[in-house]
Amino acid sequence: MSDTPHSVQPAPQVIPRSEHNISRADISKNALKVLYRLKDAGYQAFLVGGSVRDLLLGRHPKDFDVATDAHPEDVRALFGNSRLIGRRFRLAHVRFGHEIIEVATFRGFGNEEQAAGHREVSEETGRLIRDNVYGNIEEDVWRRDFTANSLYYNIADYSVWDFTGGFADVHARRLRLIGDPETRFREDPVRMLRAARFAAKLDFEIDAGCAALIPELAHLVDGVPAARLFEEFLKLFQAGHAQASFRQLRRLGLFEHLFPATAQWLGPGGDARECFLEEALANTDARVAEDRPVTPMFLLGVFLWGPVADRAAALGGDAMSDFQALAVAAGELAREQTERIAVPKRFSVPMREMLQLQSRFERTRGARALAFIESKRFRAAYDLLVLRARAGNADPDLAHWWTTLQQLPPEQQRRELGLERPGGSSRRRRRGPRRGGAQRLAVPSESPPGN
Q: Which residues bind Mg ion (CB under 5 A)?
A: 50, 63
Q: How far is CA 67 from CA 33, 93, 200, 286, in A?
A: 14, 12, 27, 35
Residues 6+ apart with CB under 8 A from 323: 356, 359, 360
Question: One of 54, 69, 140, 145 is an active-site residue; which one?
Answer: 145
- How far apart are CB 223 and ligand ATP at their closest, in Å? 14
- How far apart are CB 405 and Mg ion at their closest, in Å? 45
Stretch near ligand ATP under the rule CB under 6 A, chosen from 81-89, 184-192, 214-222, 443-451: 184-192
Measured from the CB atom, the residue of 49 and 296 that comes closer to Mg ion is 49
- Regarding 162 and contact with ligand ATP (CB under 6 A), the answer is no
- Regarding 169 and contact with ligand ATP (CB under 6 A), the answer is no
**144 binds, options ligand ATP, Mg ion, none, Cβ within 5 to 8 A by partner type:** ligand ATP
Residues 6+ apart with CB under 8 A from 229: 193, 221, 258, 340, 341, 342
Q: Which of 139, 142, 163 is nearest to 152 (CA)?
A: 163
Cα 298–Cα 300–Cα 303 angle in degrees, nearest 5: 110
- How far apart are CB 51 and Mg ion at their closest, in Å? 7
Q: Which residue is nearest to Mg ion (CB)?
A: 50
- Regarding 49 and contact with ligand ATP (CB under 6 A), the answer is yes
CA–CA gap between residue 71 and residue 87 (Å, rounded): 14
- How far apart are CB 63 and Mg ion at their closest, in Å? 5
- How far apart are CB 242 and Mg ion at their closest, in Å? 19
- Regarding 50 and contact with ligand ATP (CB under 6 A), the answer is yes
- Regarding 191 and contact with ligand ATP (CB under 6 A), the answer is yes
In DSSP notation, 145-212 reads: SBGGG-EEEETTTTEEEESSSHHHHHHTTEE-BBB-HHHHHHH-THHHHHHHHHHHHHTPEEPHHHHH
Stretch near ligand ATP under the rule CB under 6 A, chosen from 185-193, 360-368, 373-381, 432-440: 185-193
* Neighbour count for residue 215 (Cβ, 10 Å): 13
What mask of x and - would describe binding to ligand ATP in positions 57 to 76, judged by CB under 6 A?
-----xx-x-----------
- Regarding 98 and contact with ligand ATP (CB under 6 A), the answer is no
Measured from the CB atom, the residue of 178 and 419 that comes closer to ligand ATP is 178
- How far apart are CB 186 and ligand ATP at their closest, in Å? 12
Measured from the CB atom, the residue of 12 and 50 that comes closer to ligand ATP is 50
Question: One of 65, 188, 207, 285 is an active-site residue; which one?
Answer: 65
Question: One of 26, 63, 322, 397 is an active-site residue; which one?
Answer: 63
Q: Which of 147, 175, 152 is nearest to 55 (CA)?
A: 152
Q: Which residue is nearest to ligand ATP (CB)?
A: 50
Measured from the CB atom, the residue of 91 and 275 that comes closer to ligand ATP is 91
**Cβ(75)–Cβ(96) under 8 Å?**
no
* Neighbour count for residue 170 (Cβ, 10 Å): 26
Residues between 217 and 246 that touch ligand ATP (CB under 6 A): 235
CA–CA gap between residue 245 and residue 196 (Å, rounded): 6
Chain CA centroid to CA 195, Å: 13
Catalytic (active site) residue 65: yes
**Cβ(12)–Cβ(166) under 8 Å?**
no
Q: Which of 11, 7, 9, 16 is nearest to 154 (CA)?
A: 16
**145 binds, options ligand ATP, Mg ion, none, Cβ within 5 to 8 A by partner type:** ligand ATP
Measured from the CB atom, the residue of 50 and 126 that comes closer to Mg ion is 50
**Cβ(50)–Cβ(175) under 8 Å?**
no
Stretch near ligand ATP under the rule CB under 6 A, chosen from 140-148, 291-299, 319-327, 374-382: 140-148
**26 binds, options Mg ion, ligand ATP, none, Cβ within 5 to 8 A by partner type:** none
* Neighbour count for residue 273 (Cβ, 10 Å): 17
- Regarding 190 and contact with ligand ATP (CB under 6 A), the answer is yes
- How far apart are CB 149 and Mg ion at their closest, in Å? 9
* Neighbour count for residue 206 (Cβ, 10 Å): 23
**232 binds, options ligand ATP, Mg ion, none, Cβ within 5 to 8 A by partner type:** none
Which one-letter DSSP state was computed for residue 80? Answer: T
Measured from the CB atom, the residue of 64 and 347 that comes closer to Mg ion is 64
- Regarding 207 and contact with ligand ATP (CB under 6 A), the answer is no
Residues 6+ apart with CB under 8 A from 58: 21
CA–CA gap between residue 378 and residue 375 (Å, rounded): 5
Residues between 354 and 413 that touch ligand ATP (CB under 6 A): none
The single residue among 69, 140, 145, 383 that binds ligand ATP, judged by CB under 6 A, is: 145
Task: Report which secondary-structure segment, H or E, holds 258.
Answer: helix 255-258
Catalytic site positions: 63, 65, 145
Binding site for ligand ATP (CB under 6 A): 49-50, 62-63, 65, 143-145, 149-150, 188, 190-191, 235
